[in-house]
Amino acid sequence: MKTVSPRPKTRGLNRKSNCARVWLVLLNSLFSVIGFLMLGLGCILKYNSDLLNHYLEPMLEAFRENGYEVSLTDLYEAVSVILIGLGSAILTVGSLGCCGACCKLKSFIITYTVIVLAVTIAEIVCAVLLFTMRKEMESTLQPMLQASIRNSYTGDAGVDVTTLGFNFLFTEWDCCGVHNYTDLHLATKWDRSVMLYGFQFTMAIPLMCCKLDGTFPNMVIPKDALCALYPHSSNSNYHKGCYAEVEKSINKYQYIIIGSGIGVLVLEIGSIIASIYLFKELLFLKRKLLAVTPRTPRVWGVLNF
C-alpha cells in the first residue's frame, strides 16, 4: 500500500508581521471608507445636485431675498470632479493596502508601497518648496488673483462663482481686493456707476467692502450708506488687502496645520515601513516553504541516462 508522507510544517508569520497586517488593514479600511464617502458625495453633486440644494436652501433663500438668483451648477461641477477624482484615488490605494495585508497578496502590497512612497515624497517636496520659495509663489499667486478680479468680478450683485468667492472673502475677512480697493478698479465687468438722488455717481468700492453686520450672503445694509462712494477707515475695509488678511489667519493656525501635516506624514511612513516588512516576511515565508516542500520527480521516458 502506497503511503503519502506528511507535508513538512512551516512556521507562519511572526508577531511583528501580524501587527503590521493589523495596522495596514485598520488604517487602510479607514481611508477606504473616507474615499468611498468622497466618491459618493461627488457623484451626488454631479448627477443629483437637487438633493444637496435642499440643505443649501436657507443660503439660497437669503440670496433671493437680496435680489440675487444664484445658480450653483458650475460650482457643483468643479467640486464634483475634484471629489470623484480624489475619492477614487484614496479608495483605490486604501483597497490595495487593506486587501494586500488581509489576503497576503504580495503584488498588492508592493503596488501600495510604491504609491504611498511616491505620494509621501511629493508631499515632502511640496512642503520644502512652500517654505523655501514662498516669495516666488506669492509673486505668482497675487497676479493670478488680480487677473481673476480684472476678468471676472462683477460687483455686489454678481452670482458667478468668482464674484461670490471674492465677496465672501471681503465680508468674512474684513478686507477689500488683493492688496487694497484699487485692485477692484481694474474689474472690467463691474459697473461702478450708481444713480442717487437723480445724479450718477461712481462707486469707489463695492458694498461688500463696507463694514457690515450679519453673515454672508445675508448682510445688513451699512449705517453709512455712502461708504461705497466715500470710503474711509471708519466705515469700510478699503485699505486692507485680502491676501494679507488670509495669510494672517493661516499664520495664526500654522502650528495646528504643521502638526496635522506631520501627523499625516508619520502615518504614511509607518504604513510604508509596515508594508515593506510584511512583504519581506511573506517573501521569506514563501522561500522557506519551497525549500522544505519535497518535489515530485518527473518521468520523461523509460530510458535512464
* Residue-wise pLDDT tens digits, 19-66: 889 999 999 999 999 999 999 988 888 887 666 666 665 655 655 555
Query: DSSP alpha helices (H): ranges in 104-241?
Result: 106-132, 134-152, 161-172
Residue 8 confidence (pLDDT): 46
CA distance 28 to 25: 5
305 has a pLDDT exceeding 50: no
pTM of the shown model: 0.70
CA distance 216 to 208: 9
Residues 135-140, mean pLDDT to the nearest whole number:
81
pLDDT, mean over the chain:
82
CB-based burial of residue 263 (10 Å sphere; 0-12 exposed, 13-18 middle, 19+ buried)? exposed
SS (H, E, C) 260-271: HHHHHHHHHHHH
CA distance 272 to 108: 13
Give the contacts of 258 (CB within 8 A, at least 6 positions apart): none
242 has a pLDDT exceeding 60: yes
Residues 102-123, mean pLDDT to the nearest whole number:
93
Q: Which helix (H) or strand (E) holds 133?
A: none
Looking at this protein, which amino acid is placed at residue 196? L
* Structural contact between residues 28 and 275, judged by C-beta atoms closer than 8 angstroms: no
Quickly state the pLDDT bin for 284 (edges 50, 70, 90): confident
Return the percent helix, strand and coil in the chain, to nearest 5: 65, 5, 30
The full set of domain ranges for the chain reads 15-136+253-287, 153-250
199-202/193-196 β-pairing: antiparallel
Residue 251 confidence (pLDDT): 87
Question: 2 or 161: whose pLDDT is higher?
Answer: 161
3-state SS class at 210: strand
Neighbours of 240 (CB within 10 A): 19
Residue 181 confidence (pLDDT): 92
Question: What is the C-alpha radius of gyration for the chain, rounded to an integer number of angstroms?
Answer: 30
Residue 183 confidence (pLDDT): 92
CA distance 97 to 271: 9
Query: Of the ranges 4-8, 135-139, 148-152, 240-244, which one carries the lowest mean pLDDT score?
Result: 4-8
- Strand pairing partners for 195? 200
Residue 137 confidence (pLDDT): 81
Percent of the chain whose pLDDT exceeds 70:
79
Query: pLDDT, tens digit, for every residue of 184-239?
Result: 999 999 988 877 777 778 889 998 898 887 666 666 667 677 888 889 888 899 99
Residue 96 confidence (pLDDT): 94
